[in-house]
Amino acid sequence: MGTTPPLTEAQLEQLRRMDSGLLANAIETFDVRLRNIGFTDSTIHCLFPDFPPVVGYAATARIRTSEPPMDRRKYCDRTDWWNHILSVPEPRIVIVEDLSEQPGLGAFLGKVHTSIVAALGCVGLVTNGAVRDIQDSRAMKFQIFAGNLSVSHAYAHIVDFGCPVVVGRMTVCAGDLVHGDLHGVQTVPLEIADKIPEAAKSIQQNKQHIVEVCRSPECTLEKIRAAIGLQPLPKK
């Protein structure tokens, strides 16, 4: 997270009230990153699209799920990564990259692990791997963005944590601010996060004006061009 302090609860709530498309548009106005990065691609699916947007700071981990260990029948559970989760400000979102050759063969988070991370202040999970027991996650109001579902945890185990991860083309570092809803997940640059609501308000007003022009009985192409700031076409 560097030296940028966490947002206040009021600032986080402003982001929660914003859909992902509007948020992405607002981020673009600051020109702090390329427009083709910072968000997940279509391989990551929102499992509960009826849930409201979720916002939190990233607790990262990398796992493998498909291959058994060489010297025993199963991997030993690691609990030291829970300390990493608690080192990140609340609210927290777990970001898990499955490094397996076949990501998502086994599910890392099910009923038990979801209950654990929720108890540690996590409000959601983003992974290119698999999850299971999603009916329990829904009951807990725990949002999930995942690559797929799996009936088994297979050989799911943590490789490391607190490191940069890549999920659905989106690179996330521990402590990054993350926003997600039914359309997908994106990181929110902390250096501009407190300025985003005002930028989003201006964008929303402009969009609403264009929509009203388009829906008006007196709508013409010239009025639409004027509404979006285009110059009229020259007369022939």
Q: For the domain that residue 85 is a member of, what is the CATH number?
A: 3.50.30.40
Range of the domain at 86: 9-196
Neighbours of 213 (CB within 10 A): 17
Task: Say whether pTM exceeds 0.85.
Answer: yes
C-alpha distances (whole Å) from 111 to each of 106, 115, 116, 139 are 14, 6, 9, 11
Instruction: Answer whether residue 221 is part of any domain.
Output: no
Instruction: Answer whether residue 232 is part of any domain.
Output: no
Instruction: Answer whether residue 208 is part of any domain.
Output: no
**Cα pseudo-dihedral 4, 122, 29, 163, rounded to 10:** 60
Instruction: Answer whether residue 61 is part of any domain.
Output: yes
Instruction: Answer whether residue 91 is part of any domain.
Output: yes
Total domains in the fold of the chain: 1
What's the confidence (pLDDT) of residue 71? 73
What's the confidence (pLDDT) of residue 5? 73
What parts of the chain have a pLDDT lower than 70?
1-3, 230-236
Closest C-alpha among 67, 80, 69 to residue 162: 80
For residue 56, give both structure tokens.
């939190």
What's the confidence (pLDDT) of residue 181? 98
Instruction: Answer whether residue 141 is part of any domain.
Output: yes
Q: In a 3-state reduction of DSSP, which class is residue 115?
A: helix
Report pLDDT digits (tens) over 32-59. Answer: 999 999 999 999 999 999 999 999 999 9
